[in-house]
Structure 1
Amino acid sequence: MQLQIEKYIDGVWWLAATLHIDQPAKGLASSCTLEYLPDYVLEHLDRSDEASLDFRHPLSFNHYRCDGWPAFFLDLLPSGYGRDTLLTLLNSSARDGAQYDVSVLMHGASQPPGCMRIREAHLYLAGAMPQGFGGWSEAELAEVGTGFESLLQEHGVLHGVTCMLGQAPKLWMSRAKNGRLYPDTCLTEDDIVERLLVKFPRNREEQVLLEHEFVWLKLAKTAGLDVHGQPFMLGSLLFIPRFDCALVQGQWQHHHLMSMYTLQDAQQHGLKLFHEDVLTNWQAHAAPDEFLQQVAEYLRRDVLSYCLKAEDNHGRNTAFLKHGSRLQLSPLFDFSPMFLTRDPPTRLTSWRSFPVGLHQQWPLLFDAFLPTLLGEAACHTLRASMRDWCSTLAAVQQQFATLELDERTDACHARFATALAALDSL
């Protein structure tokens, strides 16, 4: 089985490489060969960092033999609701297993976040979506309640969700020049003026979760964290501006997005990680003059996620924007109180420096790990920065106390107090 990988550079989707999968029935575990196309290599020899698909497989005329799929393919592979919906559309059943991985990649990796896609999947989605769909007004979407999935089915555009990653139901949507909103693939790039991620509920429980996620994002903004744009709600739908693409001088640019799992070369879903390893590997690719500020953002996210019990911190819920050979922490995303669901996830990324079972021991990081990572002078600057941030976090705590929220969020009050005490001791 051979698939073709495309990468977006300077306004063009380039046919960049092929992936030959030796044993498709083994899915992610199959050995494979990744090979750049000679024409693509020749065209981009003078900008190989930008043209490479990831750090471990730099642009080359030589092929790469891999024991399993390269980790970055998991950033393209639909999961959760998108995968389930795709399998149902393909097979009339959501029955799943490793033997379906290749089919999901081949049909579903049509619009992953970032600047890469599988050519076969793009062609499949283009053929599955209807022509001439008229989109929706904001007023129409504000009235759908928990029926958005049915609305997608009614208009024949449910295939639009099949490229999505993550458990929650979601869809790429775009605003056209006429002001109406469409599934992204229903428009040409020349017609699009704004690109959004919309999360939609199928029941009251999911609606409560999205209402709280919207509040969590606003609290993160109050805390000074990097939240891109202005998320908003239309009725029960949560709209989040996309940061993996941008309109620059009238042309859409797609940025290279790399998950924390890809940085760590994690070739399976659900692997546990340590923050110390992530920061160490990231430092090797970070801009030296930006790294200290970025580490401060990383630590503040960790503190606020503890306070608000936003603990679904697996390796695909943190990502980096790749600019040539450099990595920059992406804006915050999937910052959600998943403890409000029936099956809340556990924290998958933890600090090796903390005692087992304890998460709020940030002062311990300044004893050994951070001085080794950053140097004593930079570590001193970071310590002072985190102390100064205490007043901002206290303001978030005060704002949180005034909100009318699900009673299950009451546990967050004590967490704020614990975090403030820990930071005050720095």
Structure 2
Amino acid sequence: MDCHIEIFHEGQWLEAAHASFSDVVRNGFRPNDCVFEYDLPYAFGDAPAPVSLVIPVDADRHVRKTWPTFLYDLVPQGNGRRFLLDHLKLPDAQASDLPLLCAGAFNPIGRLRIREAVHYYEQHVERHELAADGFTFDELLARSPDFYEMMMVHGMLAAGGTGVQGVAPKYLLTRGHDGKWHPDAALPDDQAQRHYIIKRPRGPSDADRKVLRNEARYMEVARRFGIRSFDIPVLHADMLFIPRFDRRARDGRVQRFHQESVASIAGLAGFGTQADQFELVNAIRSVVDVPLAETIEFIRRDVLNLAMRNTDNHARNTAVQTVDGVTRLTPLFDFAPMYLDPEGITRSARWYHPDSRKELKNWSDILVQLSLPDQERAQVVEALVRFGEQLTTLSGCMREVGVDNDIVDFVTPSIEAQRTQLLALR
């Protein structure tokens, strides 16, 4: 079974690489089950960009024991995964990842897609009559019968439900120049004004709604504390409108930026994998343009995760992107009071001592183990001490932006614990 990987470059889709898999897959993927190679015309073209920041463009044929990990960024998850599993009559198992990739990765986040998935989507459109006129904002909020039918039945593919990962129901919608909202894949680039992810509560409980209601407020707090941010999401009813930063619509054209999870860069296969934060930092530093700045950014984000109890810190909730030739961490995303989630989400990425494998929870111990030049380590310490001083105002800032009072009360002890640790670094 083959999948052909296409990349968006200079306004067009180009075949960049392909991966070949054995027709027989048992218990996942066997040794030598994947052969990966760049398309030769692409490899010898004009300054070709890699499909992954850790897979340089070359003309070699690579026989691999595992998938290239960037492909996992393209495999549908959440509602989109369930939708496709039902369509394909497949069990929810690791062996289904490949057919899901070849059916659902036609319009993912970033600038890659799978050609076989594009064909699957085109066949899907031929089978179903999709609304072509778009929806007004009021129709979107009201989730009119036509809108609901398109989103949940015919339009899951067009709305990109298969192209964005995570458990919470999400749609990829585009606001057109006509002022209406369209399924992302259904609107030509020259008609696009802005691209959004629309997120709904993970489940039906009050806690699920509370998490979603406070996500935009958490994002505003992070922005005020100097964390790299994009335009702050806006909540309308039970729908959170998140402006996308992997695309830029301008002058009738759409730019698609390379975006890749830290899990992919660190070589973590599959989903739900426990990650080592030290390995994630090293992976980030190996691909970004300014390693010191991104190390500080990554650690400051983790301080806020711990202080504000955002426990959903898996390695696909952090990504890097390349914009205007600069590679660095993306703006923050999926930052919310996830300790409230009814499923009991715990931190899946932790700081493990490189030798003992014991989890480290004190920043003084963590900083000693970071693989940094001494001068950089001193600069990291200085930045974190300053951040600790900022944390004095964190609870007040949360109240000021409207975070629910009971959430602020609950996280205040963890804020103080982080502040104390950082100030002790002096």
Q: TM-score, normalised by structure 1?
A: 0.88
Shift of 1:27: 7.3
Q: Please name the residue that 2:235 is paired with.
A: 233
Q: Please name the residue that 1:273 is paired with.
A: 275
Contact 2:216 2:233 in 1 (8 A): yes
Q: 1:248 to 1:291 in 2, by over 3 A?
A: farther
Contact 1:340 1:408 in 2 (8 A): no
Partner SS for 1:283: helix
Q: Please name the residue that 2:108 is paired with.
A: 112
Partner SS for 1:271: coil
Quote the RMSD (CA, aligned, Å): 2.7
Q: 1:119 to 1:404 in 2, by over 3 A?
A: closer
Q: 1:396 to 1:148 in 2, by over 3 A?
A: farther
Q: 1:242 aligns with which of 226, 241, 244?
A: 244
Shift of 1:263: 1.1
Q: 1:333 to 1:153 in 2, by over 3 A?
A: closer
Q: 2:96 aligns with which of 89, 100, 106?
A: 100
Deviates more, 1:169-178 or 1:265-274: 265-274
Q: Please name the residue that 2:29 is paired with.
A: 29
Q: Please name the residue that 2:410 is paired with.
A: 411
Deviates more, 1:321-330 or 1:16-25: 321-330
Shift of 1:176: 0.2
1:16-415 alignment, distance < 5 Å? 16-26=16-26, 28-30=28-30, 31-44=33-46, 47-48=47-48, 50=49, 52-91=50-89, 95-129=91-125, 130-144=129-143, 150-153=148-151, 156-159=154-157, 160=159, 161-201=161-201, 203-205=204-206, 206-287=208-289, 290-322=290-322, 327-353=327-353, 356=358, 359=361, 361-366=362-367, 368-370=368-370, 372-373=371-372, 375-401=373-399, 403=402, 405=404, 407=406, 410-415=409-414
**Whole-angstrom CA distance in 2 between matches of 1:358 and 1:410:** 26
**Whole-angstrom CA distance in 2 between matches of 1:415 and 1:352:** 20
Identity, % of aligned pairs? 25
Shift of 1:149: 8.3
**1:147-175 Cα distance to aligned partner (Å, 9 max, x none):** 99845357832333122311111011111
Deviates more, 1:319-328 or 1:189-198: 319-328
Letter in 1 for 2:273: L
Shift of 1:35: 2.2
Contact 1:26 1:98 in 2 (8 A): no
Deviates more, 1:402-411 or 1:225-234: 402-411
Q: 1:148 to 1:292 in 2, by over 3 A?
A: farther
**Whole-angstrom CA distance in 2 between matches of 1:215 and 1:88:** 36
Letter in 2 for 1:140: E
Partner SS for 2:133: coil
**1:285-329 Cα distance to aligned partner (Å, 9 max, x none):** 232xx3222222111100101111111111111111146997411
Shift of 1:33: 1.1
**Whole-angstrom CA distance in 1 between matches of 2:411 and 2:74:** 34
**Whole-angstrom CA distance in 2 between matches of 1:384 and 1:59:** 38
Q: How many residues align?
A: 413
**Whole-angstrom CA distance in 2 between matches of 1:195 and 1:59:** 30
Partner SS for 2:218: helix
Q: TM-score, normalised by structure 2?
A: 0.88
Letter in 1 for 2:204: N
Q: 1:70 to 1:27 in 2, by over 3 A?
A: farther
**1:352-379 Cα distance to aligned partner (Å, 9 max, x none):** 25995663x113334x234x51x33333
Shift of 1:95: 3.5
Contact 1:27 1:101 in 2 (8 A): no
**1:374-403 Cα distance to aligned partner (Å, 9 max, x none):** x33333233222222234333222122464
Contact 1:148 1:200 in 2 (8 A): no
Show structure 2 runs of 5+ residues with no match: none
Shift of 1:37: 1.9
Partner SS for 2:314: coil
Contact 2:219 2:232 in 1 (8 A): no
Letter in 2 for 1:105: L
**Whole-angstrom CA distance in 2 between matches of 1:220 and 1:82:** 29
Q: 1:148 to 1:270 in 2, by over 3 A?
A: farther
